[in-house]
Amino acid sequence: MVPELGRIPLRRLLWTIATLATPVALANVSQTLMGLVDTLMVGQLGTGPLAAVGVATLLFSAVAMTIKSVDVAVQTFTAQRVGAGRDAEVGTVLATALTVVCSAGLLVMLAGLHWPRVLMGLVSRDPEVISLGTSYLIWRFVGILPFLIFFMFRGVYDGVGWTRIGMLVGMGMNLLNVLLNWVLIFGKLGLPALGVAGAAVASSLSGALASAVMIVIALSPSVRRRFRLLYRRNLDPGLLVPFLRVAWPPAAQALAVIVAMLIFFFILGLISTLAVAAGNVVMRIAALSFMPGFGVGVAVQTLVGQALGRHDPRGAVRAGWGGVGLSMLFMGSFGLLFLTVPGFLVRLFTTSDELVTAGAPVLRLMGLVQIIDAVGVTLAGALRGAGATRIVMLMDVLTGFCLLPPLAYLFGVVLHGGLMGAFMALLLWFSLYAISMTYWFLRGDWKTLRV
């Protein structure tokens, strides 16, 4: 349980946010590094495999991250119940979440295993990209259920305030993924070289082990008794409707954003395969820089939820603005790095001079995005902590899904701006989203919501 945020000094408030946010950020960095390691190692195979992994990862994310976004509701429901001293109800929240995501995940897994080539054909016209991406998708869909289960348990632990669990398990998962990538992509230790498919197998295996560890922690006697986790009678049909009311907007938001990114990469494909590969590298690097902001956003979500659970709206507001300051500091540091040494960073992922030349200016542009995005992701976390997930979803859909694809096509293809023109549309998306989150947070309607 965190202290009453409305009364503590500013320095202690910032320390509380940072203490919760740092493990979350590191856990997210570990998760992002799984994709970066895939990109680094697959990049050694050539531009075609690199483009295939980029497109296939987006396709997998379109469904997996949509369902995974139920963890927003898990964290919010958990935080508000812990804040109100209703710890024994947390097990019911987890049971509801597992029922929802496992049912949806099983259907998605069956569809993904049956139509992987069809999915790749929706986004790419390159035969090599389609073929390699199909093999990647098959093995990623095999591991989708453990992937989803991991995030539901992490949502519970983050909502309680135990953010270090996700950090430690995430780091272990990433280290295992690095080892398995090396073994399976390149055929080490006497195993066959699986190439692109090996990267997917490595990610699925490491995710399955991480999920198992999260379950073992939940089964420890002290944790299980306090929160009544994994009891057979936990499922409460009466919680399903209010839970889905909070859960569906972040799921719809994730789907809309990822579909927008899929269309974005399709537009890059209209420019060139080089643009797809360079865009994949830039987004992988930028994703790592977003993690501190996401970490602070998750911490703020927990703090706002717990503050409102104990009827402390002033503390919830302070948590939001304190988180914005920390996010701007952390993400601004990455932005400075992107502005000063973009070529060096891109070259870590490829030996192609042409790809470095294409990607470096775009990564420099992404350096300008950092401060702007820090505001958006942090205040979005604050609003989610209050249960205002619908307005967060609506603003992201309007500024991202509805604007990004047409503007990317206009700037990149019609006006012949190429890769840089397409990425200018991303800058506009993040700017409008940050402005909208600031507006809704200042309105203050979210202070009266209860879940």
Furthest-apart CA pair in the chain: how many Å? Answer: 63
CA pair distance 412, 94, nearest whole angstrom? 44
Torsion of CA 301, 307, 309, 310, to 10 degrees: 170
**Per-residue DSSP letter, 399:** I
**Which residue, chain included where needed, has tokens 């991250």?**
65
Cα 367 to Cα 364: distance, rounded to the nearest angstrom: 5
- One DSSP character per residue, 333-362 reads HHHHHHHH-HHHHHHTT-S-HHHHHHHHHH
Is the distance from CB of 168 to CB of 17 less than 8 angstroms? no
Give the separation between CA 383 and CA 369, rounded to whole angstroms: 21
CA–CA separation, 27 and 9 (whole Å)? 28
Q: Are the C-beta atoms of 51 and 280 separated by less than 8 Å?
A: yes
pTM here is: 0.80
Interaxial angle between packed helices 47-68 and 116-123, expressed in degrees from 0 to 180 and rounded to the nearest 10? 110
Give me the tens of pLDDT residue by residue for the chain, a chain 451 residues long: 556 776 778 888 888 888 888 887 777 776 666 666 667 788 778 777 878 887 888 788 888 988 998 999 999 999 999 988 999 999 999 999 999 999 999 999 999 999 989 988 887 778 888 988 899 999 999 999 999 999 999 999 999 999 899 889 988 888 898 899 899 999 998 888 898 889 899 989 999 999 999 999 999 999 999 999 999 889 888 898 999 898 889 888 888 887 888 889 889 889 888 888 888 888 878 887 888 888 899 899 999 998 898 888 999 999 999 999 999 998 999 889 999 999 898 888 777 888 889 889 999 998 888 989 999 999 999 999 999 999 999 999 999 889 999 999 999 999 998 899 999 999 999 999 999 999 999 999 999 877 6
